[in-house]
């Protein structure tokens, strides 16, 4: 049976020692979010994830959701777990207190998101979608819509979804056909069908608030003609209760490779009553708030699954006896040595560990930037934070999920045949991780967003900000022998990233295929560099604390050794990625369709 323990020691190290989470309490509205409060909240969140959500993960996967004539039932135990989750205030952990939320920083929600994804990804999808609906309405909803829906979403009494995709459209939202007909009372009648709707129908909440993309009768073609609408499953009464059924029905649920405890629905809208969010034909603005938040959340899914897979693979490697160490017996009292003595096993586990801890540092940094973007009194500081969040969003979504899937596979391989069977649980993490590379915009789409939109944005201002931050830390390490050795690979990776940026600027403008051919490699190059930069930050803190005789010497020593592994074993991939980018699109585009 698999196990999970929230990595609170590492979480605290990143939040407090590396990123100084205490400075968030200096932002307006976060005065009570002191380090002690943050630690207490996360300790309770860890307990919920370990003791309530994780025990339902394997059984939820085995049972899955069931569909019966439009009704969807979640796996056994999910209803009770959701009630505990909602009653504890976790549905509104970072929501505005004006609507019943806890008002904690987004950075705290990022940490809790990771723990949820490790404990039970399928379960986490339900409140995760509700938070996305909350964010979109908070940013673009009218005061009337906010008053009607936000308190219920924040309390967890009602769930939420985002309804974008249609069977013929996929990622190309510009060709969606769902219609919205205006009525005399100011509402709209929504007709159409949406597919792949996570949490589209379930038995956890009294009502479900669907945010739906649709077209007005006179809407222009493409994404410039899309509007967003709130379409509740049940029409709210004047006193805020679920009233008459709306014209929304679940046509079926998907039978999937993974996340089987999460209901993935076909939703049919038949003359359903909806209310516009934001302005006509500008619905993508509201939906992008939800989508960008969801992309960061999906990145945390990759990290969360990699973490729990690592914990179980490491435990197995310490206990499983097989063969003898190449340098001589290490377990003379046993018939064989633990497989952790073998270099290839150690290499795989260190690869996961180095990714997990580096990705955690990068993600929490971005979480704190989101709080800075929304709360800092200085407009220039807010803008810098917003630039960096925008740049890092596709990287976190795509790089974390590409590497997260790779790491869950390494974990499975560590267990050998036992990894492939259900009893040990790791095969589920592989199956669950695979979808994260696909939904909320495939990773190829994220790479195109990074190269085609984020790099040229504001004349390259976003990426220049990132370059300057990395270079400053590389330069600052020059006077320390240990840190200089770690900073050198980061500086070299930064140089390759800058060179790749110039290559794309020169070739991609003249021939878009050049940008398309290099996009994924460029995103990975930025991902490896960004995590390497975070490892340099962590190493600097670990080195300073160890020199001062502070903290757990073994913990800090392991940090430095893992940083050295990352620089020696993962950062060299940046050289290969640059070579692939420089190779251009020629060999990719040359074969005719008949030659495939």
Pairing type for strands 234-236 and 242-245 reads: antiparallel
Angle, helices 512-547/343-375, rounded to nearest 10 degrees: 100
- Taking the CA atoms of residue 365, residue 367, residue 370 and residue 376 in that order, the dihedral angle to the nearest 10 degrees is -60
List, as one string, the DSSP characters of 342-377. Answer: SHHHHHHHHHHHHHHHHHHHHHHHHHHHHHHHHH-S
Q: In the numeric block, which tokens belong to residue 359?
A: 């990705």
Encode 77-123 in three state secondary structure: CHHHHHHHHHHCCHHHCCCCHHHCCCCCCHHHHHHHHHHHHHHHHHH
Q: In the numeric block, which tokens belong to residue 70?
A: 């439009």
Instruction: Give the separation between CA 82 and CA 251, rounded to whole angstroms.
Output: 24
CB within 8 Å of 465: residues ≥ 6 apart: 384, 387, 388, 391
List, as one string, the DSSP characters of 399-440. Answer: HHHHHHHHHHHHHHHHHTHHHHSGGGSHHHHHHHHHHTTTSS
Instruction: Give the separation between CA 173 and CA 226, rounded to whole angstroms.
Output: 9
Burial 242-260 (b: 16+ CB within 10 A, else e): beeebbbbbeebbebebbb
- The count of residues in the chain is 596
Judge contact between 9 and 118, C-beta under 8 A.
no
Catalytic residues: 440
CB within 8 Å of 38: residues ≥ 6 apart: 15, 21, 104, 105, 108
Instruction: Give the separation between CA 314 and CA 437, rounded to whole angstroms.
Output: 25
Q: In the numeric block, which tokens belong to residue 296?
A: 């960061």
Give the closest residue to 518 by CA, choosing from 594, 580, 592.
580
Within a 10 A sphere around the Cβ of 151, how many other Cβ atoms? 18
Q: In the numeric block, which tokens belong to residue 365?
A: 């940094």
Output phi, psi for 267, to 5 deg.
Answer: -110, 130
CA angle 28, 29, 32 (to 5 degrees): 115
Judge contact between 239 and 281, C-beta under 8 A.
no
Q: In the numeric block, which tokens belong to residue 382?
A: 């807010």
Instruction: Give the separation between CA 414 and CA 322, rounded to whole angstroms.
Output: 12
| 28 burial type by CB count under 10 A (0-12 exposed, 13-18 middle, 19+ buried) | exposed
First and final C-alpha spacing in the chain: 45
Q: Could you identify the residue written with the tokens 């340098």?
A: 327
């Amino acid at each position: 049976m698999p196990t999970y323990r929230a990595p609170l020691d590492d979480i605290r190290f990143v939040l407090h020692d590396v990123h100084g989470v205490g400075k968030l309490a200096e932002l307006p509205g976060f005065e009570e979010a002191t380090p002690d409060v943050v630690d207490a909240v996360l300790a309770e969140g860890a307990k919920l994830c370990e003791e309530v959500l994780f025990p339902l993960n394997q059984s939820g996967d085995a049972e899955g959701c069931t569909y019966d004539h439009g009704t969807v039932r979640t796996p056994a135990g999910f209803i009770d777990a959701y009630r505990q989750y909602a009653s504890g205030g976790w549905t509104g952990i970072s929501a505005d207190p004006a609507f019943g939320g806890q008002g904690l920083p987004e950075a705290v929600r990022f940490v809790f998101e990771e723990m949820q994804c490790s404990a039970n990804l399928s379960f986490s999808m339900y409140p995760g979608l509700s938070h996305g609906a909350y964010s979109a309405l908070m940013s673009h909803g009218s005061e009337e819509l906010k008053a009607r829906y936000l308190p219920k979403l924040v309390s967890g009494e009602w769930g939420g979804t985002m309804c974008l995709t249609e069977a013929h459209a996929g990622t190309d939202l510009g060709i969606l056909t769902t219609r919205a007909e205006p009525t005399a009372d100011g509402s709209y009648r929504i007709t159409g069908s949406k597919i792949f709707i996570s949490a589209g129908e379930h038995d956890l909440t009294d009502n479900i608030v669907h945010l739906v993309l649709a077209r007005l009768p006179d809407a222009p073609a493409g994404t410039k003609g899309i509007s967003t609408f709130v379409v509740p499953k049940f029409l709210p009464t004047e006193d805020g209760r679920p009233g008459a059924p709306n014209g929304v029905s679940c046509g079926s649920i998907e039978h999937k490779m993974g996340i089987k405890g999460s209901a993935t629905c076909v939703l049919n809208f038949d003359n359903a009553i909806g209310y516009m969010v934001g302005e006509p034909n500008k619905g993508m603005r509201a939906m992008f708030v939800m989508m960008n938040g969801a992309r960061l959340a999906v990145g945390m899914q990759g990290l969360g699954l990699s973490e729990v897979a690592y914990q179980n693979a490491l435990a197995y490697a310490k206990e499983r006896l097989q063969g003898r160490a190449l340098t001589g017996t290490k377990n003379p009292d046993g018939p064989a040595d633990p497989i952790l003595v073998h270099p290839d096993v150690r290499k795989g586990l260190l690869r996961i560990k180095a990714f997990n801890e580096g990705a955690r540092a990068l993600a929490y940094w971005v979480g704190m930037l989101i709080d800075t973007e929304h709360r800092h009194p200085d407009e220039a500081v807010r803008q810098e934070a917003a630039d960096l969040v925008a740049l890092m969003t596709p990287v976190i979504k795509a790089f974390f999920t590409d590497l997260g899937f790779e790491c869950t596979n390494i974990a499975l391989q560590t267990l050998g045949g036992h990894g492939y069977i259900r009893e040990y649980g790791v095969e589920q993490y592989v199956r669950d991780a695979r979808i994260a590379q696909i939904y909320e915009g495939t990773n190829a789409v994220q790479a195109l967003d990074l190269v085609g939109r984020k790099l040229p944005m504001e004349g390259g201002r976003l990426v220049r900000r990132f370059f300057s931050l990395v270079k400053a830390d590389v330069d600052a390490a020059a006077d320390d022998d240990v840190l200089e050795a770690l900073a050198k690979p980061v500086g070299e990776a930064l140089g390759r990233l800058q060179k790749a940026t110039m290559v794309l600027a020169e070739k991609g403008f003249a021939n878009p295929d050049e940008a398309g051919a290099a996009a994924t490699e460029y995103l990975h190059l930025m991902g490896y560099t960004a995590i390497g930069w975070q490892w340099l930050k962590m190493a600097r803190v670990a080195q300073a604390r160890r020199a001062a005789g502070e903290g757990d010497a073994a913990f800090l020593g392991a940090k430095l050794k893992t940083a050295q592994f990352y620089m020696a074993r993962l950062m060299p991939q940046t050289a290969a990625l640059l070579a692939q980018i420089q190779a251009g699109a020629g060999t990719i585009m040359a074969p005719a369709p008949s030659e495939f």
